[in-house]
């Protein structure tokens, strides 16, 4: 081993002795069962989100989604029913689904909030990657119809 490799190994060794890697995370640890559920959902194309009306009646909506760093992101408009219901009651249930919203597996309890502008940029980029030309066409048609961008991101955590 040459001296530069030896020096870098020594620096890494000293750094690892000084650093408590287990306590230096930017996000709380995600339980393994949650990770497994997220991994299973991430392979799917559609997600059904169940929100609740004021009277408690559930409303199921199929959506495109993307999972990123333990959070599920969904794009919607600010004036949609699901966004209004989530502002009022953040408790939702989610499940992988068909394009028509028929659940494919068991429901998962979750919490949803309206995301920030930064969340929206990340989510929209990831949605473009996952759904490709279909996503771009849908967004273009929506832009032609409204000429305004009223998009928001829903952040769903299990």
**pLDDT per residue as tens digits for the range 136-156:** 888 788 777 776 667 889 999
Distances (CA, A) of 87 to 2, 71, 79, 112, 147: 60, 18, 11, 9, 25
Instruction: Spell out the residues 6+ positions from residue 79 whose beta carbon is closer than 8 angstroms to its own.
Output: 150
Instruction: Spell out the residues 6+ positions from residue 20 whose beta carbon is closer than 8 angstroms to its own.
Output: none
**pLDDT per residue as tens digits for the range 47-90:** 999 999 999 999 999 999 999 988 999 998 888 999 999 999 99
Q: How confident is the model at residue 39 (pLDDT cuts 50, 70, 90)?
A: confident
Specify whether the CB–CB gap between 115 and 84 falls below 8 A. Answer: no
Q: Which domains does the chain have, with CATH numbers?
A: 31-157 (2.30.110.10)
Q: Are strands 58-63 and 151-157 parallel, antiparallel or unpaired?
A: unpaired
Q: How far apart are CA 56 and CA 59, in angstroms?
A: 9
**pLDDT per residue as tens digits for the range 9-25:** 444 444 444 444 444 44
**For the chain, percent of residues with pLDDT exceeding 70:** 78
The pTM of this model reads: 0.73
Q: How far apart are CA 83 and CA 154, in angstroms?
A: 8
Cα of 145 vs its chain's centroid, Å: 27
Beta strands in the chain (DSSP E): 46-52, 58-63, 66-68, 71-77, 91-97, 108-114, 151-157
């Amino acid at each position: 081993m040459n001296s530069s490799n030896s020096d870098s190994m020594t620096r890494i060794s000293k750094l690892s002795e000084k650093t408590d890697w287990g306590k230096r995370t930017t996000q709380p640890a995600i339980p393994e069962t949650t990770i497994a559920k997220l991994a299973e959902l991430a392979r799917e194309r559609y997600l059904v989100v169940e929100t609740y009306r004021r009277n408690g009646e559930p409303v199921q909506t199929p959506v495109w989604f993307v999972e990123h760093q333990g959070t599920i992101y969904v794009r919607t408009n600010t004036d949609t029913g699901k966004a209004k219901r989530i502002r009022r009651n953040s408790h939702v249930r989610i499940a992988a689904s068909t394009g028509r919203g028929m659940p494919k597996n068991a429901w998962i309890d979750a919490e949803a909030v309206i995301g920030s502008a930064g969340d929206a940029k990340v989510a929209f980029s990831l949605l473009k990657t996952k759904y490709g030309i279909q996503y771009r066409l849908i967004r273009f048609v929506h832009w032609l119809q409204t000429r305004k961008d009223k998009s928001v991101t829903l952040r769903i955590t299990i």
